[in-house]
Amino acid sequence: MRYAPRLPIQPIQTKRSATTTASRSEERLVVLKKKSIIKTARLGSFSSVDVDGTGLNIYLIQRASSVVARSNTAMVLSMMIAAAEEDKDEAKAESSVIVGAGPTGLVTAIMLARRGWNVRVLEKRNKPEKANNADVWGDPQRSYNIGLSARGQLALQKYDLLDVATEYAKRVKGRCDFDKDGNPVEKLVQKKFDTQVIQRDRLVAALLEEVESNYADSVTVEHGVAVNSCTFSESGDKATLEIFECKEDGDYCDTKAKETIETSLVIGAEGNAGKRGSAVIRAMDESKMCKTKMVKLKERIESTRVYKIIPIELPDGFRTDLNYSSRTGKGVAMECLPTKEGLLVGVLLVKPTDEETCLKLSDPKKLREYLDSDFPMFSKMVSDENVEKVAKSKFSGLPNFQYAGGALHLGSCAGLIGDAIHTVKPYFGMGVNSAFEDVTVLEECIENAKGDSKIFLPLYSKKRAADAKALVEISHGFDGGFLTFVLPLILDSIFHRIAPWLFMPNTIQMLQKDDWSFVRTSRRKRFDRTLQVSILASIFAGSVSLVMMLVKFLWSKKFFLA
């Protein structure tokens, strides 16, 4: 936070001639504000610390009053008061609560703490193990991997958290697919920011340790508690939360509330998945005072997937900084991301309607046979012990596509962030990265509004709601199969290669451009698609015309009668 430096106060002249007084009273007063330094012309300078209990600069008000008495110019006083008001410290909520201590919730708490706010964070799951515990995080079953791209890394860098995350992350330089004969085909990618892969819960553990080490005076994080009820005052300036103790890592809660609190600001940073969903999202969605309406996009049955986690032990000679991938003819996919300890976390994705394959994956003997036949390149990298564990494990589901439509806030007391406003499937790593970007946008709004939630919450909605919708709709298109995913990628590749000055790269690459908003990307790809269709239609129409002309010519020459 920036503060105005104390500037010298010009002494007041107690004896002036009538001419001097009259001339000075007729001069215009100019109040200039550049960053956090406010200067006043003619009347001298002031310091932001010379204030009374209301935060107004006494010296300036007295000085302005003196001028007003002589010049009878009421505008002078109002301008001086406005200038003094601008120099006040940022307003802060009387109390602020973040529901959800995942990566987004913790980064949001740190952002607010750096601005001098006191924050209470509530999380229904258990506290994670220490981030440096290699024995724990060497087990792929502990958590799924996430990739931090340029968007996420820039956001973390802003809050001095990038080193905190990358200490336990693995840098990925490209990918490795396998051809039809099972031979590896490596593809290295040169990017401004290499993707940093880390287990989701390990990132939570690292951020939590940062909070405990450097922000303990401002941030309190409580685990094993859930907010199951949220209501709002009629004026929309207070939220009442009922807090329940949880058991079994947040799956079950007590039936009686442990505590009921009232807060002037609650931020919903947990997604709407799970058995109960988010109480904050539910309350905002159902409130007549709020424009927030959760929009769930239609799930395509053919695109639905469930998955199991498979530990992959790379043999000597294989690179440990690649994303390994392979697919079968039936649409079963194996995606493997590395960990800092060297073990790959494999995700085996299968259609829930493919009952035959699902049964194979649930029996140790059949699972080994299936890996030998369909994924021979990975089968030898999976131990018998891990095959046994995988077969006994349950299938997990992927989240449905969902976004918060209309608004991301209610009154001056509630806002949503992260997965709460844009839920996507983790195929292209946009979930956590866009969530961290949400935090930076929220801070910009707080900065512009001087901490007034009546201003910064609506401003945040205006800046981020359209982007949240665009991200989910773009990602939903990727899940549509050949027509909405594969074909557009082919067209983008062809047209961009022919005319890179006119056509942008494919949508997946565009999403990685950290200086482009999702709305801008969506609009640009619509432009590209319209132009591509127009060109193809023109080529087709021209081809049809040529064929018709050729037929007429041949007919005129009696070619068909010969």
pLDDT at 322 over 60: yes
Structural domain contains residue 270: yes
Q: What percent of the chain has pLDDT over 90?
A: 55
Q: Which of 2-16, 228-242, 279-293 has the lowest mean pLDDT?
A: 2-16
Q: Are residues 371 and 436 in the same domain?
A: no
Each residue's pLDDT tens digit, 67-79: 445 444 455 445 5
| Number of Cβ within a 10 Å radius of residue 163 | 11
Q: Are residues 319 and 260 in the same domain?
A: no
Q: What is the pLDDT of residue 93?
A: 64
Each residue's pLDDT tens digit, 409-439: 999 999 999 999 999 987 767 889 999 999 9
Q: What are 144's two structure tokens?
A: 């799924």
pLDDT at 500 over 80: yes
Q: Are residues 461 and 323 in the same domain?
A: no
Q: Are residues 393 and 425 in the same domain?
A: no
Q: Which of 35-49, 314-328, 331-345 has the lowest mean pLDDT?
A: 35-49
- For 51, which DSSP code? B
pLDDT at 22 over 50: no
Structural domain contains residue 40: no
Q: Which of 390-399, 449-458, 541-550 has the lowest mean pLDDT?
A: 541-550
Each residue's pLDDT tens digit, 203-213: 999 999 999 99
Give 13-44 as a 3 state SS string: CCCCCHHHHHHHHHCCCCEEEECCEEEECCCC
Please give the average per-residue pLDDT across 123-138, as a whole number. 89
Asked which of 419, 443, 475 is the last residue of a domain, the reply is: 475
- The helix/strand/coil state of 60 is helix
- pTM to 2 decimal places: 0.81
Q: What percent of the chain has pLDDT over 70?
A: 81
Who has greater pLDDT, 205 or 87? 205
Q: For all residues of the chain together, what is the average pLDDT?
A: 82
Asked which of 449, 475, 501 is the last residue of a domain, the reply is: 475
- The helix/strand/coil state of 177 is strand
The C-alpha atoms of residue 278 and residue 525 are separated, in whole angstroms, by 33
Q: Are 130 and 439 in contact (CB under 8 A)?
A: no
Q: Are residues 227 and 351 in the same domain?
A: no
Range of the domain at 499: 481-561
Q: Are residues 404 and 381 in the same domain?
A: no
Task: Kindly give the pairing relationship between strand 174-178 and strand 184-188.
Answer: antiparallel
- The helix/strand/coil state of 405 is strand
Who has greater pLDDT, 555 or 291? 291
| 279: enclosing H helix or E strand | helix 279-286
Asked which of 381, 397, 413 is the last residue of a domain, the reply is: 397
Each residue's pLDDT tens digit, 501-539: 999 998 888 888 888 999 999 999 999 999 999 999 999
Please give the average per-residue pLDDT across 203-225, as a whole number. 96
- Sheet containing strand 293-296, strands side by side: 293-296, 402-405, 422-423
Please give the average per-residue pLDDT across 228-255, as a whole number. 88
Structural domain contains residue 9: no
pLDDT at 275 over 60: no
Q: What is the pLDDT of residue 508?
A: 85
Into how many domains does the chain fold?
A: 3
For helices 74-86 and 58-71, give the axis angle rounded to 10 degrees: 170
Q: Are residues 315 and 390 in the same domain?
A: yes
Cβ-based neighbours of 50, under 8 Å, separated by 6 or more: 9, 57, 58, 59
Structural domain contains residue 309: yes
* Nearest CA among 336, 345, 395, 400 for reference residue 202: 345
Q: What is the pLDDT of residue 251?
A: 73
For helices 453-478 and 518-556, give the axis angle rounded to 10 degrees: 30
For helices 431-448 and 103-114, give the axis angle rounded to 10 degrees: 20
pLDDT at 233 over 90: yes
Q: What is the pLDDT of residue 155?
A: 96
Location of structure tokens 């866009």: 434
What region, left, alpha or beta, does residue 55 occupy, with left being phi > 0 and alpha being psi -120 to 50 degrees? left
Segment of 126-140, 291-305, 367-381, 415-429 carrying the highest mean pLDDT: 367-381
Q: What is the pLDDT of residue 273?
A: 55
